Structure formats: structure tokens, C-alpha cells
Structure 1
């Protein structure tokens, strides 16, 4: 019998099959110049709400920059510039691609120019009342949460964008000092009868399988409660990809924990491991409910680079979480509306953990961005 083939962590960075083809046709130019009216964009109501919320947020930045926050421009201006990019992408054409969004319907620059009164006449009123960084952090958090309310109504690619922008808003709130960056998931599944050990990562120095006292890893149920959801074959493929990515992450955190001498960092690794085990189990349950056989973990995984010390372990943890943000952004687009919330929640959690491990920030977590460097894999001996 041949030994199981070793799979690579690089798979975490691959786009899930079909992710680029999920965008609905939401509009068209005049047909052959015959003067036929342009078809309406089905995403328009969602886009209008998203842009209005972003205008409120920009008004908050402008109010703070023009008043008591003027001395904190070095912190506020880069965050505001990212919000400007979010607005351009959310107001862009069909597909919601941040790379293709033009400056149309967006503020003229990323400076402290006041936000334009476009989509909602009353939108700036709440934002203009912001007087402290804490108030702006709260507005960022509330706006991030509101983005997720439209996941089920949006086209696949716009839902993917909304989830990414929501995660970015949570990171902004953290940068502004918010100690509670996002609310708890709306649904939490029943605990598994037993917790399988971390696959191929069970040496004595690896983090234990349970969370430390006083912590509760996020375990939002992708299936929710009730009867089995309807999931098409493409979505099943995407869910299998997410499950495979979580198998790899569980293995990776065994390596991370073995190389971290600091108790605080080991606690972070232990908490992250427990969260990834919970996500792994939730995808296994969902796949089982739709009649699919969950993919099994490999006997071992090839690391993207050699990990020989604590610095390498921290880098590996950041790499794992960053790659998972891409997996979950694509999963949002691949699954039906009822399952999108769990995928978006997983994206947010991974973005927060990547930030905690020191990953380079990006305006669109989980989406391709030219400003975000891509770690280069090194062959393992």
C-alpha cells in the first residue's frame, strides 16, 4: 500500500473551483446600439444600502478629522482611505471586484475631503456626531455588522465583497481601540459528542485540543438549525475545500504550538487551534447533512516554509490565517444564502487572528489585492 500523499499548505491559497464564475449577470450595455434600455442591476438595492452606510462612516471620519481627532491624522487618514476604496468597490459595476472598481460614485480622493451626499440624504447625520476615536470604532463595528444583513440578498460576488469589507471594518474598529470588535455569532450548534484529536499534530508540545479556561471558540453553525439545507454540487466542492483547509490549519497549529516558548503566544495558539477544530467539525456536520462524505485529513502536510523557531511559528500562524481568509471569501460566494453568514463569520475570525499574528493588513481581507504581498513557499526537505 502506498503511503498517503502529502498535501501542501499552498492549497489554502487556491481559489475554490468555480469561484470566479459565480457572478450573476447583473446588467448590460445597450444591445448592439439599438437603443434598448439597460437592464436593471438586481444588486442595486443592496449596493445603495452599502454605499449609504459607507457615507455615514466617511462622515464620521471627516467629523473626527475636522475636530478633536485632527492630531491623530496619521491613524485616521489611512483607515479613511480604505473606506473610500470600499465605497468605490461597493458602488462599482456587476461583480463587485475591488480591483476593477473605478472612481465613479466615490469621493474624489482619499484625503479628508468630506464624503459626498449621494445615496442617502440622512446618512451623514449619524457619522457627523462622532467626536472620539471610540465613537468611530463603535460606528465601524456597527457598520461591519450591518454589511452581513444583506448577504442573502446579494449576488454571489457582491456577497463575497460584503463579507470582505465587513471583516475590514472589524479590523478598523480594532485599530481604533475597540476591545469588542464584533458581536457573537447568531447561532451556535450543539457541542460535538466527542472532539477528535488534532490530526497528525499531537506531539506533546502541540497545543491541547480544548480552549483555555474562560474562552469560547466561535462555532457558528453553517447549517443553522432544522432540516438539511439544499446545497448544489458546486457548493459541496467549496465546502470540501474549506474542510480541507481546516484540516491543514489544525495540523499547522500543532507545529506552531511546538515552536512557541512564550506562554501568552502558546495560549493564543491553543485558542486558535480550538477554533479551527470547531470549524472543521461544523463543516463535517454540514457535509453529512447534505449526503456528502466529508474529506478526511491527510497523514501529513508539507509546510510552506521551514519552521525552526518562534519567529517562524508566528509567521506560519499568520500565513495560515491569511490563506484561510481567501478560502472563506470564496466560500461566501459559493454557498447558498443561508450558509453565507457562517462563511463570513469564519472570514472575520481568520482576519482578526491574522492581524493578531502580525500579518500585513489589506483593505479587502480574503480578496486579491496588489498591495498585499504573497508569501513564497519554500520546499520542505
Structure 2
């Protein structure tokens, strides 16, 4: 019996070791299972959302600065009053902020309530968070410079943003540039920095003489020999949705370009009718604008064929109401303003060089409308129903 006990002791010792090891392994495994894993880093918002948020923040800062300047009796750098009152600019910025605000977004509502009182003077805003606004009240010149810088950044972001957001940013940037120009910022509209809509640019058509652009782009031919664009209306509500093939996308752009060409032909007709009715001091400018519309119509037609569009033949004439004939300057302002939505639609559906061309043409059209006395448009190129916009937090 004594020998049996001595032989069993090592076996019992090994058994205990095995049990202890299994218990320790079980405790460790349970411990690792109970330790929560680190949550993954949040994904970076898309570029269009970052551009919208940056645009909203800049607009709210500019609006707050404009309200302060208007309330305190703004003065120019030389001590005089500004040539253009600030109230219309503040109204323009308010509408832009409401358009950029996401309905039901508490972060956006909080931003509107806590926006700083001065614009980012001297710094061009970007899609990254802007620098804190300076505490000192800005002058009208500084306010206008910040307004121009914001407009330039919005137009830059519109070059690569998604469809509907690109149109919204383009309209906001164009309006801010025009407002800054009215406040006295020289070159705020940046005409020298934008491709002239009436001349040929790199990668853009200079005349409608390109040979068979539809065939060169691989457009599906119809029995009439032109691209089929019957399923496209040339408009874009909200962001552009993906199409099943590159051909269908090109056809949508082609249809928008065809609508743009038709709008330009109507503008050409209106200018031709107005030339004989304008006062002598307005004839020279109207002649220059008429040539610009001729060039734009030719370029839009050529681009439409390249993108599988079907430009309509030029009609023999258009109906002009008696009000246009009696007051041609006001009629031309309305005519230019009516052309803006076509370019806004084109910005939304196009990309690349075609979008750059549309952005330049949108700005040129808005400047011509302003020249003839059109009122400030908070979002040129966008048909806006202000009643549907969310309200800013008080």
C-alpha cells in the first residue's frame, strides 16, 4: 500500500497542474472577451459635405459681421459711407445660410446661433475649419474682401463637389463675388481669373466647326444621325445620381448643353431686338454682350454634340412682350436672369472641363444681368423657393 501511494502522488500532482493551467487559460480567455474593442475611427465626411459645412460657417460669420456693420453705421476706409447699403448683402447672406442649412441638423442650428461676429478678414476660407474670426470689428473694405474670398472658395469647391451641391456652391460663390464687387472690391468678380465664356480655352471648343463631334465621342447614333437625348430633360434636382453607363451620363450632359444652346439663341435674338431701342451709351456694351452670346451658343452646341446631345435648330424668332420693347435694358436684365438656370443645371450634371466652362458662363451671365439692373440674386442658377428653406436659429 505504501508503494501504491508513492506512485500515485506524482500522478495527482500532474493532474493538479493540468487543472490549474486550464483554469488560468479559461480566466484569461474570459478576460480578453470582456475587454471592449476600440471603436473604429469615424469615416471622414465626403468632400461635398465638408464644402457645405465650410460654406455655411463662412456665410454665418459674414452675416454676423454685416449685421454689426449695418447697425453701427458702416464707414469706408476714408471715413465716408459705402456706396451700396449693407442690408441687401445681409439679406443675401441670410438666404444663402438657410439654403446651406440641413433641415433638422442640430449641429447646423447650433452653428447659426454661435457664429462669431466678424468675418475671417485677410484669409481665404477652405473646406477645413476656418480660423477664428478677429475680435475687432471689420471695416467695409475688410468685410468686402472677406466676402470676395469666400465667393472665390465656393467657386473652387464647386469644381469638384457632387451635382446639386456644386450648383448650390456655384450660386453662392457667384452672388458673393458680385456683392463684393458692388461694395468696392476691385476685381471681385475675378473676370481675369475665369475663362472668358466667349473665347476658346484649353480643351474647350472655340467654334462649332469641329468635325463630327458625336461620332468622335462614340455616341449611339439614331436614324437621323444624331445622338438620342429624348430621355433627358437637362435638369438636375439635388445631387446627380449615378447612371448605368458612361454613355447615358454623357447623354444627360448633352441634353443640358442643348438646352443651354437654346437659351443662348434666345438671348442673341433679344439683344438683336434691343440694339435699335437702347440709348446710345448702352449700344456698345450691348454689342459686346451680343457677341459673347453668339460665342456661347456656338460652344454649347459643339459641346452638346460631343456629349451625345441633340441641339434644336434655331427658330426663326422668339416672342418679345411689349414691356421688353418699351424698356430694353430691363428686358435684357430679365433675359440674362432667365438664362442662369440652364447653366446651373449644367453645373450639376457636368464635370471636368465642361463644368469649368459652365461655371465661367454662369458668372458671366450673372454679371451681365447685374449690369442691366437686375436685383441681387442670392443663388444665381438655382430656382429657389424660400418658403421651403429651414429657418436659422435666433
* 1:290 Cα deviation after fit: 3.7
Report the structure, 1 or 2, having the larger helix content.
Answer: 2
Q: 1:151 aligns with which of 145, 150, 158?
A: 158
Q: Find the counterpart in structure 2 of residue 3 from structure 1.
A: none
Give the structure-1-normalised TM-score: 0.64
TM (norm. structure 2) is 0.63
Distance (whole Å) between structure 1 residues aligned to residue 111 and residue 94 of structure 2: 7
Q: Which residue of 1 aligns with 2:22?
A: none
Name the count of aligned residue pairs: 295
Which blocks of at least 5 consecutive residues in structure 2 are unaligned? 1-41, 76-80, 121-127, 206-212, 218-245, 388-394
Pick aligned residue for 1:281 from 263, 288, 298:
298
Matched position secondary structure for 2:109: coil
Describe the superposition over 1:54-91 as per-residue Cα deviations: whole angstroms up to 9, x where unpaired.
35534653674577726769822331232133223223
Aligned partner of 2:351 among 330, 336, 341: 336
Distance 1:121 1:53, change over 3 A: closer
Q: Which moved more, 1:138-147 or 1:321-330?
A: 138-147
- Structure 1 equivalent of residue 140 of structure 2: 133
The answer as to 2:289 corresponding to 1:272 is yes
Q: Which residue of 1 aligns with 2:184?
A: 177
User: Shift in Å at residue 181 of structure 1?
Assistant: 2.8
Structure 1 spans left out of the alignment, 5+ residues? 1-37, 95-99, 189-215, 373-381
Aligned counterpart, 2:265: 247
Rounded Cα–Cα distance in structure 2 between residues aligned with 1:85 and 1:325: 18
Q: Tell me the CA shift for residue 275 of structure 1.
A: 1.4
CA-atom RMSD, angstroms?
Answer: 4.0
Instruction: Report the equivalent of 2:56.
Output: 51
Greater radius of gyration (CA): 2
- The equivalent of 1:89 in structure 2 is 99
In the alignment, structure 1 residue 322 sits paired with structure 2 residue 337: yes
Measured against aligned partners, the alpha-carbon deviations of 1:270-320 in whole angstroms (never above 9, x if no partner) come to 1211211121122123234345554331111122445443x2x11220111
In the alignment, what sits opposite 1:104? Answer: 109
Deviation of 1:366 after TM superposition, in Å, equals 2.8
Q: Which has the higher relative contact order, 1 or 2, with Cα contacts under 8 A spaced 6 or more apart?
A: 1
Mapped to 2, the partners of 1:273 and 1:101 lie a distance apart of 48
